[in-house]
Structure 1
Amino acid sequence: MAASITRVEDVSGPLEKCLSGLGFEVHPLKVGWYNAVLPPSLALSYPDDTLAVVVFSTPSMFEKAFLPFLEEQSCGGVRDPIDQCVRQCVSSAVSQCFQGQKVDVSYDFELLPSRRPRFLAQTAAHVSGGAYYYQQSDVTDPPWTDKKMFGVCVHPQFGGWFAIRALLVFVDLRGGSDLQQPPPADCVPSREGRVQLLEAFNLRWQDWSYRNIVPPVETYSQRQKDYFSCRPAERLALLKSWGFLLKKEGADETAETQEELSGHG
């Protein structure tokens, strides 16, 4: 039977204590907020007031969590060392903070058998209030008549220098009255700015310029930029050149999509 909670901080507080020092942010939400903006075919199968948390990585995650993770172990046979690092950090925090509690964790890199993502990361970020998801529909009289423009999230402090990593659903917990839906900060309110953002993300994402659509308080280090600029299949070789003992056998990299670009660096 579901338990009712009155303090969201009882969930977000312990998670933040475990993860913030590793360069992560946590943003609570109710499943109903997410389901309300999606068609039923994409909805999460939980009651609307079920408590969830979306996890972001900030620029410091690379140095605070990823590089120490690589120093501690070999990453042979993994799809992506970043994914493995995030999984270890999040699963460790859940085990440490919520023993005996049923928590369904979905990661941004996981796909359903239908090849759809397990959750829509940018939608979850937007409805939690953590980042604004700018889409083609947010542009008045859009200038693109025959081209689909993928949307992108902007963080109020980090601009585009962040990633959406995981969604944690606390199956037996219901959000209390203290959890009211916060609107995400509209960092790019003008039509001109939104056109600039979507064109930079869709047409010139490799030059990083869309990430600076608002002045960020912190950006990726040069080493982190070098890593994410590499093709996925070349990243293990780059890490080896940095002195990490990694095995390439069994590595299975997949091509990145526009949705993955916003969540994978």
Structure 2
Amino acid sequence: MEAENIVKSVKSMLEPIGFECHPFKIDWYNKYVKPGFCLNYDPDTLAVIIISTPCMFEKTLKPFILRKACTGVKDPIDECMAETVNTVKQSLPDVEMDILLDYELDHSRRPRVLVQTAGHVAGAVRYYQRSDIVKDPWPSKKRVFGVCIHPRYGGWFAFRGVLVFTNVRAPELPRPPMPDPLPDDEQRIELLKRFNGCWQDWKYRDLIPVSDKYSEEQKLYFATLPRDRKDLVAKMINNSSNSASVGE
């Protein structure tokens, strides 16, 4: 199966339920990361980064929660993503696929894939880091974490994982132009200040005009610690059941 058709198939399954899918070559990623984080595949191997957009919560996560009741040990979003990508894998039985989910760690307790870097090299987002600042305002020893901005959703999105099609080569895959939603140095500094100073207040997500953002219910869900989300899920299920009863 050709790379172009695989990408079309993945997009046709995931985009209607609130995801974006962006292809890239393993070589693009490996040239951007330190040796310890390189992915051990042929440089021309096809991969796809999966991003959840704001509508994923209503289109995929909530229906999953109501259907499954999420009684397992994993965070419901992790359970949901595992099921979703496995459905993609099952629909392409003739294609060898490795699934690298954003929350998975390797044997040394490091992420199996750096999803921010994958999103950046795929041209889906811009990964802003301290090295992108011309007039660096921070002390030299201060650690400043980078953050990605989506050209349409600002910070209102999330990386969910990477699909690696291990037996598919895409030597001619065109490299997309790199988005730059914050071309000004002051904007980039403000982004990193907001993200590193108080990412919990959501303000870093709104530095550019966005086409959509998280609903209040979705904000509440993701603002809740993973260990406490089971209780919130139970309330969501009860509220949904009560609403259905009223409508009957």
2:234 to 227, 232, 240: 240
In 2, the alpha carbon distance for the partners of 1:184 and 1:174 equals 22
CA distance in 2, matches of 1:244, 1:87: 24
Paired residue for 1:28?
Answer: 23
> Residue in 2 aligned with 1:123?
117
| Pairs within 5 Å for 1:122-161 | 122-145=116-139, 146-161=141-156
SS at structure 2 position matched to 1:243: helix
Q: Which residue of 1 aligns with 2:189?
A: 195
Structure 2 match to 1:113: 107
CA contact (8 A) 1:70 1:244 kept: no
After TM superposition, the score normalised by the length of structure 1 is 0.87
8 Å contact 1:34–1:43 — kept in the other structure?
yes
Q: Which runs of structure 2 are paired with 1:94-113 in the superposition (5 Å)?
A: 94-96=89-91, 98-113=92-107
3-state secondary structure, aligned to 2:237: coil
Matched-pair contact (CA < 8 Å) for 2:25–2:45? yes
| Shift of residue 79, structure 1, vs aligned partner | 2.1
TM-score if structure 2 supplies the norm length? 0.92
Counterpart CA distance in 1 for 2:109 and 2:202 is 28
* Match of residue 178, structure 2, among 184, 193, 205: 184
Greater percentage in helix: 2
Is the contact between residue 71 and residue 244 of structure 1 (CA under 8 Å) also seen in structure 2? no
CA distance in 2: counterparts of 1:231 and 1:70, whole angstroms: 17
> Matches of 1:183 and 1:199 in 2, distance apart?
26
Q: Is the 8 A contact 2:65 2:237 kept in 1?
A: no
Q: Whole-Å Cα distance in 2 between the matches of residues 63 and 230 of structure 1?
A: 17
- Contact kept, 8 Å, 1:129 with 1:183, in 2: the verdict is yes
Match of 1:63 among 58, 67, 70: 58
Q: 1:200 to 1:55 in 2, by over 3 A?
A: same
Letter in 2 for 1:101: V
State the shift of 1:183 in Å: 2.8
Unaligned runs of at least 5 residues, structure 1: 246-265
**For residues 177-234 of structure 1, what are the alpha-carbon distances to aligned partners after superposition, in whole Å with 9 as ceiling and x for unaligned?**
2x12113210001110000000111111111011111111000001000111112221
Residue pair 2:24, 2:47 contacting (<8 A) in 1 also: yes
Letter of the 1:180 partner, please give it.
Answer: P
Say what the alpha-carbon RMSD is for the aligned residues. Answer: 1.4
- The question of 1:167 aligning with 2:162 is answered yes
Shift of 1:45: 0.3
**Partner letter of residue 171 of structure 1?**
T
Amino acid of the structure 2 residue aligned with 1:216: V
The number of aligned residues is 238
Partner of 1:219: 213
1:64 to partner: Cα distance? 0.1
143-152 or 191-200: bigger deviation:
143-152
- 1:72 aligns with 67
